[in-house]
């Protein structure tokens, strides 16, 4: 049988960095640069954020998928080039376990399903290895092989227009001599850019504190990232942001950031490290613990299971609202699950929630005097009430009930931008239409020096 000359190859990789340095997206740009003369890119590199609750992540649990068309005779070259770049760029320490996968042609359904699971569950390395063995043209792992999970997930999660929501991020990189130094970016230019391009750019500025959010603090090569609805709007944003240091290069990624994609596939089972979505009834009034975190005891409406529900300190105004909940209130909760050994209980860390039922609570008070309207006092056990002002007494009088006024509304609440996880959909995106496609713009990546 004669093989077709052209072939579609899906490349996925993950776990190449650690807190000591490196960045998987930077590796993506190095790979793109080095294979670009041997293939056509059919999509932007996809920056897929997977389950944010797994304990092995470095930061945002991101993995990369690249889809190319190439002549079959180039596949070996491309494979070798990817391995070379991984070897060159990956952080060599015990917490870094790179994995890379290559899948040819249509993406098997099982890989697509695996990608959904990777968004919401804790997956074993074994499961990923079995899948890679069965469906990959080639796969390779270093260390314990954990990177295969994210690699397969990035290939399987295609963010298909009309079916899945997606956004774009332009990431600009630093030149080597600046890595590790303070990033000098004109905040004024970021405010101006946001004003000009909103609502088509998002999460540039924290709406509560006005803090600029486009740059990280770590030792990695990222100078800043600009998030938006289209490739051209993030490129325009790039032209507006002013920096005091040279830029090494940039790349536009298509991503599931800001889409709530994990909540789309979440459930109310409350499994350890899983993503939770479900109604919870408040059992006990919230308390604030050391560090300013707010906790309350709740019950999952679907199962009756008792859980602790937490809103963390950086969520500021969000946490303040949660602190005002009372027993019997019901919320639609969205968040991550952790099993707390010391309490033998699961706790749900809220990423957003909708208040759907606010219960009525009363305080009991002494009645007012029917003659002079003064508040009465008790006349002793089972003796009713007396009025100290006019002397009126009534044995039959009992306490009155007053409804406690709730300063809460039934509505959706989301922590401010700086406390949001990458996948969480910010308010600014709520009116956006589902995208029906995307255009490959010419200048979607660029390198100015050696990447």
Q: Which residue in 375, 372, 382 sits closest to 400, CA to CA?
A: 375
Q: What is the DSSP string of 231-257?
A: HHHHHHHHHH--BSS-EEEEEEEEE-T
Sign of the Cα torsion 319, 321, 327, 331 reads negative
**Closest chain position to ligand ATP (CB):** 150
Q: Does 59 bind ligand ATP (CB under 6 A)?
A: yes
Q: Does 352 bind ligand ATP (CB under 6 A)?
A: no
| Integer CA distances (angstroms), 395 to 4, 315, 377, 381, 388, in order | 98, 52, 12, 10, 15
Of the candidate residues 8, 38, 56, 265, the single one contacting ligand ATP (CB under 6 A): 56
Of the candidate residues 38, 57, 293, 446, the single one contacting ligand ATP (CB under 6 A): 57
Q: Does 416 bind ligand ATP (CB under 6 A)?
A: no
Q: Does 14 bind ligand ATP (CB under 6 A)?
A: yes
Question: How near is the Cβ of 19 to ligand ATP at its closest, in Å?
Answer: 8
Question: How near is the Cβ of 64 to ligand ATP at its closest, in Å?
Answer: 9
What's the rounded Cα separation, in Å, for the pair 117 and 330?
28
Of the candidate residues 142, 149, 213, 355, the single one contacting ligand ATP (CB under 6 A): 149
Nearer to ligand ATP, 146 or 277 (CB): 146
| Integer CA distances (angstroms), 140 to 115, 129, 325, in order | 18, 10, 50
| Integer CA distances (angstroms), 73 to 3, 70, 78, in order | 11, 8, 10
Tokens coding 156:
């399987």
> Which backbone phi and psi does 57 adopt, to 5 degrees?
-70, 155
Q: Does 146 bind ligand ATP (CB under 6 A)?
A: yes
Of the candidate residues 39, 45, 61, 330, the single one contacting ligand ATP (CB under 6 A): 61
| Region binding ligand ATP by CB under 6 A among candidate stretches 47-55, 172-180, 201-209, 356-364 | 47-55
Of the candidate residues 10, 13, 45, 50, the single one contacting ligand ATP (CB under 6 A): 50
For 76, counting Cβ atoms within 10 Å of its Cβ (0-12 exposed, 13-18 middle, 19+ buried), the class is exposed
Nearer to ligand ATP, 25 or 200 (CB): 25
What's the rounded Cα separation, in Å, for the pair 220 and 446?
19
Which parts of 78-107 interact with ligand ATP (CB under 6 A)?
A: 97
Q: Does 336 bind ligand ATP (CB under 6 A)?
A: no
Question: How near is the Cβ of 297 to ligand ATP at its closest, in Å?
Answer: 28
Nearer to ligand ATP, 59 or 406 (CB): 59
Q: How many residues bind ligand ATP (CB under 6 A)?
A: 24
What's the rounded Cα separation, in Å, for the pair 89 and 99?
13
What's the rounded Cα separation, in Å, for the pair 307 and 178?
46
Q: Does 58 bind ligand ATP (CB under 6 A)?
A: yes
| Integer CA distances (angstroms), 118 to 151, 157, 262, in order | 10, 9, 9
For 150, counting Cβ atoms within 10 Å of its Cβ (0-12 exposed, 13-18 middle, 19+ buried), the class is buried
Nearer to ligand ATP, 114 or 385 (CB): 114
Which parts of 241-260 interact with ligand ATP (CB under 6 A)?
A: none
Tokens coding 135:
């469906």
Q: Does 65 bind ligand ATP (CB under 6 A)?
A: no
Give the DSSP letter of residue 427: G
Q: Does 54 bind ligand ATP (CB under 6 A)?
A: yes
| Region binding ligand ATP by CB under 6 A among candidate stretches 115-123, 163-171, 370-378, 435-443 | 115-123
Nearer to ligand ATP, 29 or 282 (CB): 29
| Region binding ligand ATP by CB under 6 A among candidate stretches 73-81, 142-150, 249-257, 423-431 | 142-150
Which residues contact ligand ATP (rule: CB under 6 A)?
A: 14-15, 17, 23-24, 50-51, 54, 56-62, 97, 118, 121-123, 146-147, 149-150
């Amino acid at each position: 049988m004669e093989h077709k000359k052209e072939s579609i190859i899906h490349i996925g990789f993950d776990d190449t960095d650690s807190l000591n340095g490196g960045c998987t997206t930077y590796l993506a740009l190095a790979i793109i640069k080095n294979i670009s003369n041997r293939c056509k890119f059919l999509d932007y590199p996809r920056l897929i954020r997977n389950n944010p609750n797994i304990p092995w992540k470095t930061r945002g649990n991101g993995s990369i998928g690249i889809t190319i068309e190439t002549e079959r005779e180039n596949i070996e070259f491309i494979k070798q080039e990817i391995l070379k770049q991984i070897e060159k760029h990956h952080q060599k320490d015990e917490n870094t376990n790179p994995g890379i996968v290559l899948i040819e042609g249509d993406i098997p359904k099982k890989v697509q399903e695996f990608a959904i699971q990777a968004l919401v569950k804790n997956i074993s390395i074994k499961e990923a290895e079995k899948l890679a063995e069965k469906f990959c043209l080639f796969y390779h792992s270093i260390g314990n092989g954990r990177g295969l999970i994210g690699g397969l997930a990035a290939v399987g999660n295609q963010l298909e227009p009309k079916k899945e929501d997606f956004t774009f991020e332009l990431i600009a990189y630093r030149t080597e001599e600046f890595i590790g130094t303070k990033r000098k970016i004109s905040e004024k230019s970021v405010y101006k850019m946001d004003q000009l391009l909103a609502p088509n750019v998002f999460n540039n500025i924290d709406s509560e504190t006005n803090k600029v959010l486009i740059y990280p603090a770590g030792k990695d090569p990222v100078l800043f990232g600009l998030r938006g609805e289209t490739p051209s709007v993030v490129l325009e944003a790039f032209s507006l942001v002013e920096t005091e240091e040279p830029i090494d290069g940039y790349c536009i990624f298509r991503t599931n950031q800001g889409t709530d994609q994990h909540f789309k596939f979440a459930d109310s089972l409350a499994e350890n490290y899983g993503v939770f979505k479900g109604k919870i009834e408040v059992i006990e009034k919230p308390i604030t613990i050391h560090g300013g975190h707010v906790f309350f005891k709740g019950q999952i409406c679907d199962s009756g299971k008792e859980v602790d529900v937490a809103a963390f300190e950086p969520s500021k105004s969000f946490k303040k609202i949660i602190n005002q909940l009372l027993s019997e209130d019901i919320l639609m909760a969205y968040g991550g699950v952790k099993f707390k050994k010391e309490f033998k209980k699961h706790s749900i860390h809220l990423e957003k929630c909708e208040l759907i039922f606010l219960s009525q609570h009363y305080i009991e008070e002494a009645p007012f005097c029917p003659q002079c309207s003064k508040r009465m006092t008790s006349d002793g056990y089972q003796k009713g009430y007396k009025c100290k002002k006019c002397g009126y007494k009534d044995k039959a009088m009992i306490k009155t009930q007053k409804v406690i006024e709730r300063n809460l509304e039934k509505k959706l609440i989301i922590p401010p931008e700086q406390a949001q996880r990458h996948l969480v959909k910010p308010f600014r995106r709520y009116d956006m239409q589902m995208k029906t496609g995307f255009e490959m713009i010419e200048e979607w990546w660029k390198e100015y020096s050696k990447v």
